[in-house]
Amino acid sequence: MKNEIIAKFSNIYKTYKTKKFCATRESAALVNFSFDMEKGEIVGLLGLNGAGKTTIMKLLAGLIFQDSGEILIDGIKPILPEAKQKIGFLPELPYFYPYMTCVEILTYYAKLSGLENYDDKIGKVIGKVGLVEHTSKKISEYSKGMMQRLGLAQAVLHEPELLILDEPVSGLDPLAIHEVRNLIAGINKSGTTVFLSSHSISELEKICNRVIILSRGEIVKTVSSDDWKIAGGLEEIFIRTVK
Amino acid sequence: MKFNAILSIKNRYAFVAISGIIFLATSFHIGQNYKLFFPPPSHIKAFKTSTAGDILALNLGMRRLFADLWFVRLMQYYGTTEDGVSIYKPMSKDQAEAYGSGRYPDFFSMAEHIIQLDPYFKNAVLYSAACLAFNLNKPESAIKLLNLALEYLPKEWKYLTMLAAIGYSKAENPTKVASSLMPLIKESDCPVMVKQLVAFLNKKAGNYANAYKIYLNIAETSKDKYYVENAMKELQKMRFENKSR
Amino acid sequence: MNNIKVVLTVAHHSLREYCKNKLFAILIIFSLFSIYASLLVGIMAVDQEYRVLTDFGLGLMELLAFVYIVYMSAVSITEEFKLKTIYLVLSRPVSKNAYLLGRIISLFALAAVILAFAGSFQLLLLKFRGFDYPLLYHKIILLMWMKLAIICSITVFLSFISTSVITTVIISIMLWTLGHFAPETKFMIEKTQGLSQIFLKSSFFLIPNFQIYNLKDSYDIGLSAYDNFKAVTYLFAWVLATFSFSAFIFRKKEF
């Protein structure tokens, strides 16, 4: 499986424009971002606030558009439904319709993902993320941790080839973080490529094969697990790189 | 169906342009062929504080509803004697006898306002014209009102019948007035006030059988307590005087 | 995935969302209460009770449906942007056009649900008072629905270009009232000249003419087959145009 490219970024530039009364303020989010992701990898994105992590995630999910350059998911532009069929996306702080139960919402997403006979899959995925005891509750009654689990469930429901996770452990308690980590590792074992961003260096260190260090929209370093093992930890490398 | 294919980058400008052209062509065609069937705002005379209501009636497309409201007001106005006694409350003998006559200075303006809002409100036209012509002794106002309504329904036989009856009334021929109004009361939606008027005119002209039938019809079908009680009283009187046949 | 399935899935989900809204329950209770209260005005109209009861019911029904439909059209999509629930929809194989169409169809369905509900209640009330099925009632309701469908498509389009929900709602209310003012505008066109005539003419053609759907005001006159054709064509033209303009803007929208 290795060496086959699942996601490719070529010279991506992205600028956000804020319109004011008479002027437009521009701020560069990504500058000449190029990167390839191989199938089966777990790749992490590490950077300070505003480094461009969420922008990359959203570009890959087809929610925003680059100004120039090309992004391909398995050779297909992310805006196209064929590419979206291959991805599972968990945004930072996912928000769900509060009046629904988790089964109802997963049914909705399953239908949108084009799944047939989704009942079994929903049952399995609910079991996998540990929400079995909460199926009858409305989402408005869910805790932050439960929401994150549900977010993961919806992202993996249709068995995507590439899982995009924006801050998947943000705001979770240590036990929940441990469970989510195990879950991601399990999903990756079944052949799914995982691309995740996090503020937590230790999390990325524990789970990733490779980590991209971003600063002000540019890749400043790409580090493999071997590199940080030799250097005495990812934190050391990150601080040295971004300082 | 591939919506993305329809709106692909190549085609989306064309799609917007085509739908824009279809929209403009349809809008233009419908606009050009649109016929006015209501009196324009400049023809609506505000009555006292009616302006706000009239604006709402036009802007919300509720002319009919506001005309209904004004008709209810007109009936309340006419249902109260000029010294403030309602026909639905006990009246003295003099008040009862005087009911229906009087000046009612706002009657015509109110009736005209109803017709300007909804010129197809036949019952309001007939009710108002009959009141003006036969109760309030203002046949010229009644004719004016009927002519206004005829502008929108020029072939309406009920209006023409009422006009003819007013003509006979001016010629002081009560028998003709009574007989000319007879076709009107055969209509199921004829205002009860017109029915009572025709019954009264028939009685006055000596056509007791007709008068009896009409009073009986009022007593059986009307929902207006005042007219029902009056009809019952008349029926009783006619039975007593043996004038029911 | 088949786009039709996406459209229907989004439409079904959205309709459920609108019907589960607390405002919807309040609106339904209020509309039933108002229609019931119209009995009082009907009784005051004595022999005209049937007409007054029918007209009041229809007027209240349309007004309340309009209020909820315009509000829902203004917030339904923008709320998804604001709450970011759109992320989990558009990161799936769902085209923006299919999503948009699904949302619009659900709003059309919502208008139908409200009118069917309130209409059935009014008919029951009329039956209770011993009156027959009103003349052209089903046609009045159908045309009322068409009118609501047009204003809902326009409001969805406005929600993409305006800066706030309040602005969208205010513009929609203005268009609703101006749309009913169309015959008066046409009359004024004939009376004016020059620039003011050009301005009035353009507004007459570019503002929806809701009077052609206002059978509740003119059911004594009725509608010809050509009037029916015009109503359907006009609805199609407005919905198509507002959908294509909305889709054009939505396509480039980022979240």
| pLDDT tens figures, B108-155 | 999 999 999 999 999 999 999 999 998 888 999 999 999 999 998 998
pLDDT band at B245 (very low <50, low <70, confident <90, very high): low
Q: Which pLDDT does position B241 carry in this prediction? A: 79
Domain that holds residue C92: 3-251
Instruction: Tell whether A231 lies on the interface with C, counting CB pairs under 8 A.
Output: no
- C-alpha torsion angle, residues A202, A205, A210, A216 (rounded to 10): 20
pLDDT greater than 90 at residue C143 = yes
Q: Which pLDDT does position C241 carry in this prediction? A: 95
pLDDT greater than 70 at residue A145 = yes
User: What are the residue boundaries of the structural domains of chain B, listed by start?
Assistant: 35-172, 174-245
Please name every residue paired with A218 in a beta bridge, in sequence order, or none if there are none: A215
List every span in chain A annotated with CATH 3.40.50.300. 5-86+162-242
pLDDT greater than 80 at residue A21 = no
pLDDT greater than 60 at residue A1 = no
- Higher-scoring residue by pLDDT: B98, B190: B190
> Whole-number mean pLDDT of chain C?
91
| pLDDT tens figures, B202-221 | 888 888 888 999 999 999 88
- DSSP type of residue B35: -
Which chain C residues are closer than 8 Å to A64 by Cβ? 254-255
Instruction: Please give the share of chain B, as a percent, with pLDDT higher than 70.
Output: 86
Mean predicted confidence (pLDDT) in C125-142: 90
How many residue pairs bridge chain B and chain C with CB atoms within 8 Å of each other? 151
Q: How many domains does chain C have?
A: 1
For A141-157, letters b (16+ CB in 10 Å) and e give ebeebbbbbbbbbbbbb
pLDDT band at C240 (very low <50, low <70, confident <90, very high): very high
Closest CA to A163 of A60, A13, A26: A60
Task: State the DSSP string of C2-29.
Answer: -HHHHHHHHHHHHHHHHHHSHHHHHHHH
Which chain B residues are closer than 8 Å to C95 by Cβ? 3-4
Q: Which pLDDT does position C217 carry in this prediction? A: 87
| pLDDT tens figures, C152-179 | 999 999 999 998 999 999 999 999 999 9
Mean predicted confidence (pLDDT) in B65-78: 91
Token pair listed for C64: 């309340």
- Predicted TM-score (pTM) of the model is 0.89
| pLDDT tens figures, A114-125 | 998 899 999 999
| pLDDT tens figures, A103-143 | 999 999 999 999 988 999 999 999 988 889 999 899 999 98
Q: Which pLDDT does position B1 carry in this prediction? A: 47
Q: What is the CATH number of domain A5-86+162-242?
A: 3.40.50.300
Which chain A residues are closer than 8 Å to C89 by Cβ? 112
Largest CA distance in chain A: 56
| pLDDT tens figures, B79-104 | 777 666 665 556 565 655 555 666 78
Highest mean pLDDT among B9-13, C123-127, C153-157: C153-157
Are the C-beta atoms of C42 and C49 separated by less than 8 Å? yes
Given A63, A95, A96, which is nearest C91 (Cβ)?
A63
Side-by-side strand order, sheet with A5-19: A24-38, A5-19, A68-73
Instruction: Tell whether C48 lies on the interface with B, counting CB pairs under 8 A.
Output: yes
Compute the nearest-CA separation of B15 from chain C (Å): 7
pLDDT greater than 80 at residue B51 = yes
Pairing, β A5-19 against β A193-198: unpaired
Rounded Cα distance, A238 and A212, in Å: 10
> Whole-number mean pLDDT of chain A?
89
pLDDT greater than 90 at residue A227 = no
Other chains touching C, judged by 3 or more CB pairs under 8 Å: A, B
Inter-chain CB proximity A64 and C255 less than 8 Å? yes
Q: Which pLDDT does position A153 carry in this prediction? A: 93
Poorest-pLDDT segment among A57-71, A74-88, B46-60, C39-53? C39-53
Highest mean pLDDT among A53-57, C96-100, C147-151: C147-151
Residue with tokens 């009102």: B145
